[in-house]
Amino acid sequence: MGASGMVGHALLAALRSAGWKGLGSYYSRHIPGGVLMDVASSDSVKACLKEHKPDLIFVGVNARGGVDICESDPSQARGVILEGTRYLLDWAGHAKQILYSTDYVFDGRAGPYGEEDPPHPISVYGRLKWEAEQELLSRSPNSLVIRTTAVFGWNRRSKNFAMQIFERLSEGQVFRAPMDQWCNPTLDEFLAETSLRLADSSQCGIINVVGRDRAHRADLAVLLAKAMELDPGLVQPVSTAELGQKAARPLQAGLKTEKLAALLGRPMMGLDEALSILGRRCRADLARRGVS
């Protein structure tokens, strides 16, 4: 669900390259071969699931406009994030669900956070995601919640952090990024491939899937600019207070990866590797379009 979004797009690509059969859903942005589904409508979810009868559902939907819009339009956010989870549970039958969640379920006073740390959300988005996690795990205990954070990737249809930076800096515009919001930057491809490995295991409950290294957003913006061969001098570090984002952000956020590393038997992808993959994808796409 949400295959027209960043995470869903990366998932479909990973599914196909692993030889799995996968069907992607979209809502407002059509994708070729995809199915239209409104997760905020019980009838739409019912019709889609009855027709396609999936064994496994990756739930990568998000309220349109993201974290800040959830503050100004909490009813749209509730419909997609929480009611959507309920409708999927109502009609999913035997299918196992894997729900994407976030470090925004925490208040950001003491991150990075482990899977067992008690959530304390400080935004509408964070509260709804936590409620959706609880709803899923209480009604379907063999389901999985994958918490992630600061996902980025080369995807022209996405407004992810890397693509926002690309758009602004390639136009010669300044990009203001907070120097007090900490996260573990996570490459979309790494998240997707790791999700498939988890789907193929008997893992259930909550698990963190994020990049190994922690950074604040302003440093990350500089590194992303360099990886995409743009002028890092256009990144302007500011405080969260100066930025005036509508939703409160957890500052000392980010997630611990020990549980996943033990499960996979190897460390998570480091930021250097993630940036070099992003740089390669960016250069290949620009070369294909004839942009030097």
Ligand X SMILES: NC(=O)c1ccc[n+]([C@@H]2O[C@H](COP(=O)([O-])OP(=O)(O)OC[C@H]3O[C@@H](n4cnc5c(N)ncnc54)[C@H](OP(=O)(O)O)[C@@H]3O)[C@@H](O)[C@H]2O)c1
For ligand X, which is the closer residue by CB, 41 or 203? 41
CA count, 13 A, side-chain hemisphere, 292: 0
Q: Is 2 a binder of ligand X (CB under 6 A)?
A: yes
Distance between CA atoms of 17 and 28, rounded to whole angstroms? 26
- Residue 54: closest CA among 5, 17, 3: 3
Q: Is 108 a binder of ligand X (CB under 6 A)?
A: no
Q: Which amino acid is at 3?
A: A
Interface with ligand X in residues 134-193 (CB under 6 A) = 148-151, 158, 160
Interface with ligand X in residues 23-82 (CB under 6 A) = 26-29, 37-40, 60-62, 64, 80
CB 156 within 8 A of CB 281: no
For ligand X, which is the closer residue by CB, 48 or 265? 48
Give the shortest CB-182-to-ligand X separation in angstroms.
14
Distance between CA atoms of 114 and 112, rounded to whole angstroms? 7
Q: Is 8 a binder of ligand X (CB under 6 A)?
A: yes
Query: Which residues have a Cβ under 8 Å from the Cβ of 104 and sit 6 or more positions away?
Result: 67, 121, 123, 125, 126, 129, 149, 249, 250, 253
State the DSSP code for 233: G
For ligand X, which is the closer residue by CB, 126 or 259? 126
For 45, phi and psi rounded to 5 degrees? -65, -45
For ligand X, which is the closer residue by CB, 29 or 109? 29
Task: Single out the segment in contact with ligand X by CB under 6 A; choices: 3-11, 86-94, 106-114, 135-143.
Answer: 3-11
Give contact residues for ligand X (rule: CB under 6 A): 2, 4-8, 26-29, 37-40, 60-62, 64, 80, 100, 102, 148-151, 158, 160
